[in-house]
Structure 1
């Protein structure tokens, strides 16, 4: 507000300020609220800057584990000050697949995610924003969430993309505003999205 008074703000707790502004800051002070309440250390704070639906930059900070990942379009992705890169795993049977909650979404989405998970090497529900950090830093290969608000997804899109990964909605559209999200390394991008019912 003080430094960029012309910019809009969109946030889970903050609502919307100046919705017609050309640029918007998209904020989620605590992504993973239920995780935070239970004192599980995998919650984070998300900040993104967008023009329309183009996310220019994103940052995610995980105070309990002291991990910070930041990215900007064509500027790369840094994890605690060092370059971040997705893994090169190319076989789904060798991949670690993550989800915030595999029961979330429509019955068709739950079945699609179950199908993806059944073909992967390992499945875990280290969810919310921390799962996307694991993708960007090469510690997991794919993550899918059936329900994602803009404040959940916006910061994560440039982080995944600038680390060499692919971030889309379940239909395969490159967006943080699709209502759901799937992130993966590049090697498994097509196979993961096909399993979820996206482009083949």
Structure 2
């Protein structure tokens, strides 16, 4: 159990750490980079690695007993029940194409529960943060999901339309795009943040890793929305994710479950 004052301090630390990592990433943005392809066919760059190294150094300095799990350098285990989960550059494809829809993600899991999350979009000048029972904030002002309560009026987001078929989600994806008013591929972490800040209603991801999810779950919950896997479970370990504004969760899941 974390007291509110301590949680606030942890969140303040996470916000500043994410800002520092974002400054590192921006040194490489819209420059000539040679990316490497990882075994899962995703790309990694010096920006990813250097940003994660900085985040790890900051965490080790401030909280040396905490565990760390990051996309690029794996897990640093500890005896503590607290683990920082890092995605130093979510949206690498956008980053490599000079598109600003990428972010630094940082979450803190305590005894199996993610209690805070930060998503920093340095190229956009947007930072969204949240901690348990303390609300969600977007550039310092309170953030909330939209009031849309009819799926036919919703804006649905995704990362890559071709990414659903390999994971057996193509039919569900088509059903949901047909059921909504508009759909756009403003994807990766930014799509989920657009839901949390009331600028979209649904975001679909057919495949997600823990570091993709950790910061997003508390942000969506504290903004009044939902962040679940495709079974409707609020988890960062489902291997996929759906964000909604909460009001549309049941309607979305009705469509999803028709195909499962």
Both proteins in one fold, TM over 0.5? yes
Equivalent pairs, count: 199
> Which structure has the higher relative contact order (CA within 8 Å, separation 6+)?
1
Partner of 2:144: 85
Q: Distance in 1 between matches of 2:230 and 2:138?
A: 26
Partner of 2:131: 72
Partner of 2:36: none
Partner of 1:134: 194
Residue ranges of structure 2 left out of the alignment (5+ in a row): 1-59
Contact 1:31 1:129 in 2 (8 A): yes
Partner of 1:54: 113
Q: Which runs of 4+ in 1 moved over 3 A?
A: none
Partner of 1:114: 174
Contact 1:53 1:177 in 2 (8 A): no
TM-score normalised to structure 1 length: 0.95
Q: Deviations over 1:130-155 (max 9, x none)?
A: 11111011000000101000100110
Identify, as 1 or 2, the structure richer in strand: 1
Identify, as 1 or 2, the structure richer in helix: 2
Contact 2:220 2:227 in 1 (8 A): yes
TM-score normalised to structure 2 length: 0.74
Task: State the shift of 1:107 in Å.
Answer: 5.2
**Aligned residues: CA RMSD:** 1.5
